[in-house]
Amino acid sequence: MFEVLPHLDPDPILGLSVAYKEDKNDAKIDLGVGVYKDEKGNTPILSSVARAQSILQEREDTKSYITPQGNQGFIDNMLTLLLGEASPVLMADRVAAVQAPGGCGALRILSELLVRCNKDARVFVSDPTWANHIPLIGSAGLALETYPYFSKDKAGIRFDAMMDKLKEAGKGDVVLLHGCCHNPTGADLTNEQWDAVLKLAQERGFLPFIDVAYLGFGDGIDEDAYGIRLLAENLPEVIIAASCSKNFGLYRERVGLAAIITDNSKVKKIAQTQIQSVARESYSMPPSYGGALVDIILSDKALNQEWVSEVNSMRNRMKTLRSMLVDRLEANGAQQDFSFINDQKGMFSFLCITPEQVLQLRREHSVYFVESSRINIAGINQQNVDTLAKALVSVL
């Protein structure tokens, strides 16, 4: 049976990891896969997570299934984190949600639910967007369209072009938005631009689909939630896919949240049965461990404060790395202005160089990142930043 299957090329990012591991150059640099790394190149276990693990080890007394919707404490705490403690939609009981296996699981669950609501719905995604958005959403059966988002020539957001395209979206259509720290560009909407998106959504009636994977890595947890909370509080319906992989460092635990903000509590009760049904058909019962850790951290005041401090430290370190790279590029004679790197946010930055230059960096300098020119800022450190800057200047 399986001999009929065609061979598929490796995933571009995961394929980079293989090539990096096989490279014998001691000075090789990995800026591909989007995981946070510390100064030694490790993806650490946060101290707040380590403490939560100890608490869970003492507290857990069974390995039976958890509830179909997931750890309810995790769900409640995550909704409060995303929407705010005084969220009017939470107080009005308008939010249906399930714990999902990672942000990817949340995206797929919500996409499957959209098919149940309207199989002919169009989903508008930014150009560019995270590569896995396309298969996750498209293979659920939804039609995809793109809207302009980023200009490599200007190293910035094409906001006017974006808004012109979104004027084509209407009731029954869906617009995928990055909540903060846009992947792959690092270029985020300003608060004023979020206000304009809200006004257009109110006029056109499209459904915002917000993917938030890097909360806290941009300007701060509450600051990064501006767009999410603005749309949630001023529109009848919004859907949100959230990931705990990055800001909690729980990559391998696959912890996410799929949430639906409905028009009223009656519709919420119906939506809750439907979203649980989608999850049941996909993987039956949710995993427990990672969600339990997040619940413990967000429920404990001291642990919560420790976690916020750790998120702040990761964010500030990445901002420092951005400045360091810009300074080293200038010091090594770069004629191109790379100051835009300081304006981008989160783990990623678009260097706005050509695919040919990216491949040259890989061949001649063992610097690995994807051909779009997206680099993982957290892969930079004190030891490799000069090597990276010199390599970049050599191919410009």
Q: Which residues are catalytic?
A: 130, 211, 246
Query: 247 with 347: CB under 8 angstroms?
Result: no
Closest Cα to residue 126, out of 45, 42, 197?
Answer: 197
The residue type at 339? S
Give the largest CA-CA distance in the chain. Answer: 63
Half-sphere exposure of 77 (CA within 13 A, CB side): 19
d(CA 328, CA 385) in angstroms, rounded, equals 7
Burial group, residue 395, by CB count within 10 angstroms (0-12, 13-18, 19+): middle
- The residues facing 98 across adjacent strands are 258
Neighbours of 56 (CB within 10 A): 15
- The residues facing 257 across adjacent strands are 99, 242
Half-sphere exposure of 335 (CA within 13 A, CB side): 3
- Cα–Cα distances (Å) from 159 to 164, 204, 207, 313, in that order, read 9, 17, 19, 31
**What are the contacts of 194-200 at 24+ separation with CB within 8 A?**
194/226, 194/227, 194/230, 194/231, 195/230, 196/159, 196/163, 197/163, 197/166, 197/227, 197/231, 198/230, 198/231, 198/234, 198/235, 200/163, 200/166, 200/167
